[in-house]
C-alpha cells in the first residue's frame, strides 16, 4: 500500500551519472504519493553527461514516472541546481505538466513558510570557484565508485553492507565538516530575517532537519548515497525519510532475472 503525503521533496538524483541509484529512486516514487512534489535541483547531471553519455533505461523510466505523476494530478515543481543550471533559463516555463521555478515559497498545512532552493546559491565555492566545485565533484564520484566494491567486500565478511565511504570521509575530514557547518549558517543568516520560517534545500548531499536560532534548516539529502527525502504530513509535520528498496521491489527484480534466464 502506498504512503500518501501532502508534499514530498527530493533532490540530487544525478540522472545521467553512474552514481545515481535509479532503482531505489524508482521504488520510492512507486511507493509514495503526494499532492505536491518538489524536485530540488541536480535532477539531471549535465556535468557528468558532458564528459560521458550515460543514460540507461531506468533513468528514462524515472523521467517517465515523474511525467506520469504530473499528468495524473501531482503538482510537480522543478527547482534547478548547479549540475542542471541551464534549466534555470526556463524559469516559470511548464514542460510536460512539470513547472520550472528557480525558487519557490511553500506554505505548510500548519501555516509555516519555507523557501525552496537548491542551495548552491549559498555555497561560496560553487559560486566563486566553479573549477574547484567540479574538482570536488570528481573526488566525491570517485569515493562513491570505490564504495561499490567496498560494500561487496563487507558483505562477504558479514559486515554491514550499507556503509558509506563518502559519509565516513565527510565526518572525519575537519575541513569538510566545517564546510557543511558554514553552508548551513550562510543560508540561515541570509534568510532568517525575510519573513520565513525555514528553508528546504539540497546541494551538499547531507540530509538534515535542524533548528538554527529559531529558523528551520532542512536538507533533502540525495539519491546517490543516502537515498533520503523530506515529506510533509497532512497536519504540516515534516519528516526525514531514509528509503531502502521494499521487499516487493526486490522480489520483482528477482522474478525478472529468472524470466530472462
Q: Quick check: is 107 in a domain?
A: yes
Whether 124 has a pLDDT exceeding 90, the answer reads no
Range of the domain at 21: 3-118+196-260
Q: Span 213-239, mean pLDDT?
A: 95
Residue 134 neighbours by CB under 8 Å, 6+ apart: 47
Q: Quick check: is 143 in a domain?
A: no
Q: Give just the sign of the alpha carbon dihedral 188, 193, 194, 198.
A: positive
pLDDT at 174: 43
On whether the CB atoms of residues 105 and 199 are closer than 8 A, the answer is no
Q: Quick check: is 95 in a domain?
A: yes
Tally of domains within the chain: 1
Q: Quick check: is 7 in a domain?
A: yes
Q: Give just the sign of the alpha carbon dihedral 144, 127, 214, 174.
A: positive
Confidence bin at 238 (pLDDT 50/70/90): very high
Q: Quick check: is 171 in a domain?
A: no
Q: Quick check: is 110 in a domain?
A: yes
Whether 107 has a pLDDT exceeding 70, the answer reads yes
Q: Quick check: is 180 in a domain?
A: no
pLDDT digits (tens, 9 = 90+) for 23-75: 999 999 999 999 999 999 999 999 889 888 999 999 999 999 999 999 999 99
* Closest-CA residue to 57 (of 90, 27, 16): 16
Share of residues in the chain with pLDDT > 70 (%):
72
CATH number at residue 96: 3.60.21.10
Amino acid at each position: 500500500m502506498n504512503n500518501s503525503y501532502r508534499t514530498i521533496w527530493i533532490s540530487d538524483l544525478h540522472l545521467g551519472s553512474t552514481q545515481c541509484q535509479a532503482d531505489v529512486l524508482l521504488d520510492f516514487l512507486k511507493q509514495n504519493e503526494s499532492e505536491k512534489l518538489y524536485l530540488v535541483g541536480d535532477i539531471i547531471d549535465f556535468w557528468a553527461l558532458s564528459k560521458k553519455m550515460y543514460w540507461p533505461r531506468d533513468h528514462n523510466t524515472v523521467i517517465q514516472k515523474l511525467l506520469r505523476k504530473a499528468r495524473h494530478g501531482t503538482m510537480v515543481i522543478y527547482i534547478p541546481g548547479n549540475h542542471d543550471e541551464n534549466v534555470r533559463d526556463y524559469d516559470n516555463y511548464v514542460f510536460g505538466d512539470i513547472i520550472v521555478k528557480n525558487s519557490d515559497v511553500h506554505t505548510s498545512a500548519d501555516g509555516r513558510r519555507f523557501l525552496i532552493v537548491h542551495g548552491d546559491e549559498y555555497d561560496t565555492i560553487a559560486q566563486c570557484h566553479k573549477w574547484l566545485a567540479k574538482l570536488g565533484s570528481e573526488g566525491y564520484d570517485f569515493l562513491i565508485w570505490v564504495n561499490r566494491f567496498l560494500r561487496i567486500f563487507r558483505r562477504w565478511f558479514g559486515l554491514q553492507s550499507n556503509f558509506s565511504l563518502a559519509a565516513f570521509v565527510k565526518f572525519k575530514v575537519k575541513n569538510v565538516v566545517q564546510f557543511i557547518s558554514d553552508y548551513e549558517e550562510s543560508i540561515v543568516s541570509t534568510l532568517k530575517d525575510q519573513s520565513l520560517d525555514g528553508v528546504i534545500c539540497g546541494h551538499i548531499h547531507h540530509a538534515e532537519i535542524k533548528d538554527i536560532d529559531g529558523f528551520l534548516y532542512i536538507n533533502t539529502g540525495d539519491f546517490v548515497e543516502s537515498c533520503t527525502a523530506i515529506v510533509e504530513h497532512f497536519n504540516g509535520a515534516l519528516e526525514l525519510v531514509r528509503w531502502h528498496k521494499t521487499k516487493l521491489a526486490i522480489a520483482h527484480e528477482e522474478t525478472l532475472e529468472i524470466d530472462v534466464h
